[in-house]
Amino acid sequence: MIQDAEQPIAPDAARFYDGGVDADEGQPGVPPDPACPPRIELVRTTENGCEEFKMLRRIAYNDEHLGELLVPRRTRTFCSDLTSVPTLFTWLVPKTGEHLPAALLHDGLVHPPGDPTYTSTDNHVVTREQADRVLRDAMGHAGTKLIRRWLIWSAVAMVTMLNGKGTGWSNRRKWYYRLAVGVTLSLVLALGIYAFIDLFDLCDANIPKLPWMGDRPWFVEVVGGLAGAIVIPLVLALFWGRFRIAGAVVGVSLAVLLPVTVALLVPTGIYQVLEFTAKATKAARWPALVVGVVALVVWLALSGTALFQK
């Protein structure tokens, strides 16, 4: 199945419907009801500081290729973290939203280790690669916007390429995909950091500059850096094979959003340090005091210099 050969998908909420309740400990189950909208009933749980949610009812989805998909198979043991997005990127892809039914559906299709591969109501075996395709289509039917839909699918497809479990791929193919992803991420990160250093002239004058940026006016370097952040990932994505669109989306997104990510890491790191010192013992609060004193000294010195210059 070619992953990137998606036909235009229009919102179609009717494809999602109430999946009922599975039979449990002698209690009769409630069958799916295609005439009833999905009822997403979640119970929040925490284990080892990690937040997860149990589903009290199933979600049913009518897939164009696989027929009815009914998840989770067992509500008692199923847990989901909703949309698996690092906190740093929730401004781009929130944990919940119009894509939530599709995210829960995908979590139900990707079976845990030791669990049998999911089989649809029509007896279609769903591999992990197919589950990723279902996620992408289901997000479209749920009304998820195009760019967000492709960002989520590309990230999920990349994880599948790195993991390789439940795909049915040969070991050779698994390692090829892992190598393609690893090389792409490494080069994009390395060139992105190099471009940042080049833009602000932080490197030694004897170190070669990136040809597409060079020693030019800053706005020309910005345009050149942006062009490189698009062209280079597109070339590297060709080595992702049938996942080439996912490679292009991941590579370009990583390259373009790298400065934003770095900018967000600074306040996030400061916040984490403050949280740690607030919970720590009195002796551990000394680093925060030292940081505060240093900041005060720097502020007074710079302010005084500015006043004297006037």
What's the confidence (pLDDT) of residue 115? 63
What is the number of other CB atoms lying within 10 angstroms of the CB of residue 151? 20
The beta-carbon contacts of 161-165 under 8 Å, at least 24 apart in sequence, are 161/240, 161/243, 163/128, 165/113, 165/128
Residue 32 near residue 18, CB atoms below 8 Å: yes
What's the confidence (pLDDT) of residue 2? 43
pLDDT tens by residue, 208-257? 788 888 888 888 888 999 999 999 999 999 999 999 999 999 999 999 98
For 164-206, give the secondary structure using H, E and C.
CCCCCCCHHHHHHHHHHHHHHHHHHHHHHHHHHHHHCCCCCCC
What's the confidence (pLDDT) of residue 305? 62
What's the confidence (pLDDT) of residue 278? 67
What is the number of other CB atoms lying within 10 angstroms of the CB of residue 239? 16
Which residue ranges in the chain fall short of pLDDT 50? 1-4
Distance of CA 253 to the CA centre of its chain: 11
Residue 101 near residue 84, CB atoms below 8 Å: no
Distance CA(50)–CA(117), nearest Å, equals 26
Q: What is the dihedral of CA 233, 236, 241, 243, to 10 degrees?
A: -20
What's the confidence (pLDDT) of residue 271? 77
What's the confidence (pLDDT) of residue 75? 82
Q: Model-level pTM greater than 0.75?
A: yes
Q: Report which of 79, 63, 76, 64 is spatially closest to residue 24, judged by C-alpha positions.
A: 76
